[in-house]
Amino acid sequence: MQLTELAHHLHLSLPTLDADFSDVAPLHGSGGEDLSFITERKWLDKVLAGSVRAAAYLVPAELAEPLQQAQIAHLVTATPAWHIATTGVLLGRHTLNVLGIHPSASIDPSAQLAPGVCVAAKAVIEAQVVIGADSVIHAGAVIQQGVHIGARCIIGSNSVIGFDGFGYEYAQGRHQKIPHLGTVIIEDDVEIGANSTIDRARFGATRIGSGTKIDNLVQIAHNVEIGRHCLIVAQVGIAGSCRIEDGAILAGQAGLVPHVTIGRGARVGAATGVAGSVPAGSTWSGWYGQAHRDNMSQLAAVRALPAFIKKVQAFMKKWEEKDQQPG
């Protein structure tokens, strides 16, 4: 493919210097027949130094001028990482596809599947489930009774949507199971990775807003409400009745206690334990989550402790030696 041809496909401005390429590749490992991409200045410097050299590059506007001056072929795009993957598809690279409904899938007769729904091998879709158009259910996924899934959703392999939440009441000398009578509602354009679980509500619905993306190995408990266009990264655990507002990001292994709210556009760092609500637009981190700036200040202070202790010990030694001198 030629770079000018790709510009037409991606609706980008035409390059001033054309180039031919036959594959896509990351910067390190790319060769003279590859299209690669640059997202940071440090990688641009390597290209300009000649330590790596592809046939052409996708770059954001702020990194384009040095390539232009060096007469290196490139296309300007605000989303290089996305467009490099799109180019791979155009070149025939294989993606993870599910076509039609596999004969080994178990689908209850009462389930409603809109046109274009694809269901892979060994997936289970139980009674009264509703799935919107062009959604994809991957191998081994289980969609349990009464769950509603919107259009163009992706449910990863071995994920379970709609199992009972973790709810018990200690009575008559043992933990009594509380029946969960609600459901799960997943809105349009949601993606859920492999081996994730979303529990049904005790009453009402556990809800995932449109455009939200959920990684592998995520646990979302009963009656959680997640807004639109959120990012939930691997191994996050969200306890019951939490509210995640639009555009929030939970990094890997973050854990939320019940009933907290993560405000609109807030960010929670990796492995952060959240025991209180996070204000909109803020960034929290650390094991007992707090404002990221405060957490970093405390970590810096902890790291300085060994040197501080040595200074205190040296001072005390001098003080004791002085105290032992006669007179």
What pLDDT, on the 0 to 100 scale, is given for residue 185? 98
Confidence class for position 327, pLDDT limits 50, 70, 90? low
74 in catalytic set: no
Q: Where in the chain is the domain with CATH 2.160.10.10?
A: 106-290
What pLDDT, on the 0 to 100 scale, is given for residue 77? 97
Overall fold of domain 106-290: UDP N-Acetylglucosamine Acyltransferase; domain 1 (2.160.10)
Per-residue pLDDT tens for 178-188?
Answer: 999 999 999 99
Cβ neighbours of residue 73 closer than 8 Å, sequence gap 6 or more: 3, 15, 17, 18, 19, 55, 56, 57
CA–CA distance, 142 with 200 (Å, rounded to integer): 13
Write down the CATH number for the domain with range 3-90: 3.40.1390.10
Q: Where in the chain is the domain with CATH 3.40.1390.10?
A: 3-90
Q: How does the average pLDDT of the chain come out, rounded? A: 94
Confidence class for position 143, pLDDT limits 50, 70, 90? very high
Q: Which residues of 166-196 are buried (b: 16+ CB within 10 A; e: fewer)?
A: ebeeeeeeeeeeeebebbbbbbbbbbbbbbb
Q: What percent of the chain has pLDDT over 90?
A: 82
Per-residue pLDDT tens for 224-241?
Answer: 999 999 999 999 999 999
CA–CA distance, 274 with 281 (Å, rounded to integer): 15
User: Encoding tokens for residue 230?
Assistant: 């959120």
Per-residue pLDDT tens for 261-291?
Answer: 999 999 999 999 999 999 999 999 887 777 8
Which residue among 74, 83, 180, 222 is the active-site one? 222
